[in-house]
Amino acid sequence: MYKKILSLNIKRIITDTDLDGVVTGAILKRYWKDAEVIFTQPGQLRSGILDDKIDISTAICDLPYHPKCGLNIDHHQSNKPNEELEIKGVVAWEDSPSAARIAYNIISNELDLTDLDELLIWVDKLDSGKISKDEYLSENDVLWLGRIIGDDPKIASYILDKLKDKISIDTIFTDCFIVPYLSKKKEEQLKIRKIITDRMKIINRLAIVNFEGSGIRSNGYSVTAMAGNDCDACIIIHGDLGASFDDYPKYPVSASFYTNSFLHKGKGIYDLTKLAMRFDSEGGGHANACGCRIKIIDENESDERKIISDDIEQNLEEWVRMWSENILNYL
C-alpha cells in the first residue's frame, strides 16, 4: 500500500490543528513539496465547510475519512474503516500511537526523516496517552510548541514550514516569531490552573471542568494532573455558546473526554467514545481520548436553535449517569 500512496499526485493536505496533525503535514510536505496545506478540526470537516476543497488529489491527515479524498491517514479508533464505508481513494488507517508515525513510515521509504526521530517519540507519547506525569509537567520544548500550535493557524503553519525545512525544535523554540506566543501561553497556563482549581468538580471519580466562554482550551493532561489519583477520567467543556465554525476565533461549544492516563496506563476503565457518541453521531476519537459537540437533546426543542447553558447541563447529566453506572460495576 505504501508504494501506491507514494505514487499519488497530492496537491492539497488537510490536517488537524494539533501537534500530531502539524507533524504529519510537515512529513507529507517534504515529499509533496508543492501541496497546499489547510488546517481544520473534525467537526469542521464533517460540517461540509471544506467539501469544495476536497478531491482525489487531497490528503486528509489525522482526521475522519472523506469520500472525495485521494488519501486518508489516521489512527483514531472511531475512524477505523468498516465494510459499510465506500472507499474511493487510499486509506492508511493503522493502530498507531499517532498519525505522524504512519506518515513517517510511509515517506521514510523515499526520504531520510531521521532528524524527526526524537520529535516523533514525543508526538507518539502525547497522542497515545503514554506520557508520564513528570514528563508532562516538564519544560520540554516539544510540549510547549504543542500547546501553542492549536491557538492560531498562523502558528501551526509556521511550525509546519520549519519542520518541513528540517529546522530543529531547539531553533524553532527560540524563533523570534514563536517566542511571544510561548510567553503568552505560559501566562495562560496560570489562568488554566486557576480555572481548573475554581471550577473542577469530581463526581464518582469523573472530573468535570467547564471552560465555556473563557477563550481558553485545555487538554485532559492539565485536568488529570491537578485532579491526581482522585479521578479516573475527565470531561472538559470548551468553546462558546451560540458560536459556529464561521465565528473564528470562537467555535461551537464542545466536550472532550480523557482517561487519566497518568493513573491508567494503556487502557482506561470505560470506553469514553460511548459518551462522545451518545448524542453526537459525528463524535469520537479514541477510547481514552475523544470529543463531540454539545447537542440539543430535548425532543420538544428544535435542533436548529443555538446551544444554551441548559444544553450543557443536560448533556453532562446523561454522561455522568452513564459513567456512574459503569464505575459502580467497575468497583
Percent residues over pLDDT 90 in the chain: 80
Q: 159: which DSSP letter?
A: H
165-223 confidence digits (pLDDT tens): 999 999 999 999 999 999 999 999 999 999 999 999 999 999 999 999 998 889 999 99
The C-alpha atoms of residue 112 and residue 101 are separated, in whole angstroms, by: 14
Taken as a whole, the chain contains a residue count of: 331
Confidence of residue 36 (pLDDT cuts 50, 70, 90): very high
Q: Does 303 have pLDDT greater than 80?
A: no
| pLDDT tens string 137-175 | 999 999 999 999 988 899 999 999 999 999 999 999 999
CATH classification of 194-330 is 1.10.3720.10, yes or no?
no
Evaluate if pTM is beyond 0.75: yes
Strand ranges in 124-247 using DSSP code E only, listed in sequence order:
201-203, 206-210, 233-238
C-alpha cell at 278: 451518545
pLDDT of residue 81: 85
Q: Name the residue ranges covered by the structural domains of the chain.
A: 2-173, 194-330
More confident residue, 223 or 302: 223
pLDDT digits (tens, 9 = 90+) for 73-131: 999 988 888 877 777 889 999 999 999 999 999 999 999 999 999 999 999 999 998 99
Q: What is the pLDDT of residue 195?
A: 96
Grid cell at residue 63: 482526521
* Contacts for 300 with CB less than 8 Å, ≥ 6 apart: none
